[in-house]
Amino acid sequence: MPENDSVSVRIEALAAQLDGWGCTPEEIDEVRRAQGVDLPRSYETFLRVLGRDGGGLMGGTEVCFGEIAQVRRWAIDLLEENRAQHPDEEVFRLPDDAVVISSHQGYVFEFVRTSLGDDPPVEWWSEGSTSLGRSTVGAASIADWLERELVARDRRSEEALRSHRRSIQAMRRRRFQPEMCPTCGGNLQWRGEIVYQAGDPNSGRDRQIAMCAAEGRSFWRWGDEPDTPLR
């Protein structure tokens, strides 16, 4: 099946470049059940090679296993709310063959249509956009959708982007490999923090803070150094 393989090749190469961590076959089945439709091959490949940590791409967006169980429901609810708020406007209806692949801050979602073949375009819909009645193609394919995220769209340096990705990746990985308190072995509650300070070489770098409730103390490490001990 050469044409099918070519769909996967770019996504697999990207995952290798990002040191991505993918879903198990059981997790992919769970996604399929939650969506209630077949998954396009390209999206299934994304789940297989990047589904657990997304390679650190798209931080702040629900896009990985453990984040996306409800995204289809959220998309439908968001459209319903907008229909109620804008009774005089035509509001988009999620197609039956849509696989919702992301949700961002509760007001925008992305989807692919499984009837459009192995490698469908990624479409988005957003609350507050001027055209509530239709979706917009944001990327020609899942591979393009991922590659777009590798490019800085603001003034952040390549190095800062890489650092941020690594930090997002570490946070997502902890969902599958919980890290315990280094002194008492108890559960840790994690949060991220970014401090901007002129003149500080670490300004804008992600700090990950772990709170041990049992001991009432907290630890931290740089998000882009996930293998260093907590301090």
Work out whether strand 206-212 and strand 108-113 pair parallel, antiparallel, or are unpaired.
unpaired
Give the residue with the Cβ less far from Zn ion, 133 or 182: 182
Least distance (Å) between residue 172 CB and Zn ion: 23
Least distance (Å) between residue 66 CB and Zn ion: 24
Dist. CA 50–CA 151, nearest whole Å: 18
Dist. CA 98–CA 115, nearest whole Å: 8
Give the residue with the Cβ less far from Zn ion, 89 or 215: 215
Dist. CA 59–CA 166, nearest whole Å: 10
Give the DSSP H/E element, type plus range, for residue 191.
strand 188-194
Q: Which residues bind Zn ion (CB under 5 A)?
A: 181, 183-184, 186, 212, 215
The CB density around residue 222, as the number of other CB atoms within 10 Å, is: 17
Least distance (Å) between residue 182 CB and Zn ion: 8
DSSP conformational letter for 116: G
DSSP conformational letter for 217: E
Give the residue with the Cβ less far from Zn ion, 86 or 191: 191
Give the DSSP H/E element, type plus range, for residue 85.
helix 71-85
Least distance (Å) between residue 187 CB and Zn ion: 9
Give the residue with the Cβ less far from Zn ion, 13 or 184: 184
Cα angle, residue 191 at apex, residues 46 and 195 outer, rounded to 5°:
105
Give the residue with the Cβ less far from Zn ion, 16 or 184: 184
Least distance (Å) between residue 87 CB and Zn ion: 54
